[in-house]
Each structure stands twice: as C-alpha cells, then as structure tokens.
Amino acid sequence: MSLMAQAPVVFLQYLVALAIVEGVQTYDQGYQRIPVRLKWPNDIFAADPADPSGKTFVKIGGILVNSHYSNSEYLCVVGVGLNTTNASPTTSLNALNPPTPFTLEKLLARVLTCFSTLHERFVRTGFDQYFEDLYYKHWLHTEQIVTLEAEGGIRARLKGITTDWGLLKAEELGWEDRPTGRILTLQSDSNSFDFFKGLIKRKV
C-alpha cells in the first residue's frame, strides 16, 4: 500500500492541530486542563477568560498548509500562528491561568516533539482509532447542529471526519431535527465554517 493511500497528505493539518493542543496540555505538570480545543478544519480555540462559565470559545490560532506535488512526492510548508502572550484581539495562552507563563521556546519544542510522535505513528497506521479518539477528545463540534448553505440551507448534525480523506461528516436532519439517514461529506478546501453562526458555506 502506498503512503498516499495509507496516510493521505490532507491529514497533515489535523496532525499539526493535534500537536499544538497536545503540546499545550503536556507542556509541563499542571497544564493538562488548559482549555484549548480544535475547530474544524484548522483553527485553535480557547475558552474565553471573560466568561466564567467556560462555555464561550474564541480563536487563538490557525494553521495553513501549502503543498506541491513533484517527482512523486508532496512538498508541504506548514504555517502556524498561535497567540501565546498577547491577549489582543481575543485572548492568549498566558491569559488562561497556566501554572507559570508559557515561553515560546519551550512551547515550540513541545509542539514539535508531539508532532514528530504523531507523524511517526500516522505514516504506519493512517488515521486509525487512536487518532479518531484523540481528535474527538479535543474538537469543539460533538453533535453540533449546523446549517449547510450549499445544500439549500438544510440542518445537519456533525458526526466527525472520515478516516480515508478527512472529510467532515454531517447527518441531515428533518422534521423536529430527526435524522433522515442521509450522510453528507464536506471538503475543508471547499467550505468555510462559521462556528458562532453554526453555518457551513462554500468558499468564494
């Protein structure tokens, strides 16, 4: 089995996102409850310190992957922005009351170490049950109901991502939000997700 078939390059953005969250929460002892989460497909969110309930999340980071296919291999450049020390415009890691403030050097080292470990497993196993469990542990969208603009404004419940090509799975809802049995799959490159409005729409 070729590496592309076993470990599709589209999952690179998910591995990087997992490495960031895992890197934050394994930064040192006492950091495992730092409230950072994953927004599909490539954003990092954190609980808003201004909301004592802990139910409001704001964006603190994002991931951009550029890839080029040449000579039978993918060349990828990954860009990551993560608000670590500056509380504007939303919040930062250091505003989340860590035991001691994050330092950029140590955090970068921890994220890269996590990525190396995750990537080494991924090329052997693909996005297996281990990765599914880890991803859903951190993502924001469990059972979230959204509106699919490109499908005529239907309502759907998010069910996860596919393990073959990393597509977002959504189950169509009918009368009184009852499942119709129809499952839709959405590409990250073709759709944008407004988390606060619960709206998934085509990119233009």
User: Does residue 20 have a pLDDT over 80?
Assistant: yes
pLDDT in the model for residue 1: 35
Average pLDDT, the chain: 91
pLDDT in the model for residue 17: 97
Alpha helices, H only, 51-199: 104-125, 129-138
Q: Are 85 and 92 in contact (CB under 8 A)?
A: yes
Model confidence pLDDT, tens digit, residues 104-133: 999 999 999 999 999 999 999 999 999 999
List the structure tokens of 82. 């993560």
Q: Are 191 and 201 in contact (CB under 8 A)?
A: yes
Mean pLDDT for 182-190 is 86
Mean pLDDT for 181-203 is 84
Q: Is the pTM of this model over 0.75?
A: yes
Model confidence pLDDT, tens digit, residues 188-197: 777 788 877 8
Mean pLDDT for 146-173 is 92
Model confidence pLDDT, tens digit, residues 141-154: 988 999 998 888 99
Q: Are 11 and 67 in contact (CB under 8 A)?
A: no
- Residue 6's pLDDT band (boundaries 50, 70, 90)? low
What is d(CA 133, CA 24) in angstroms, rounded to the nearest whole number?
A: 18
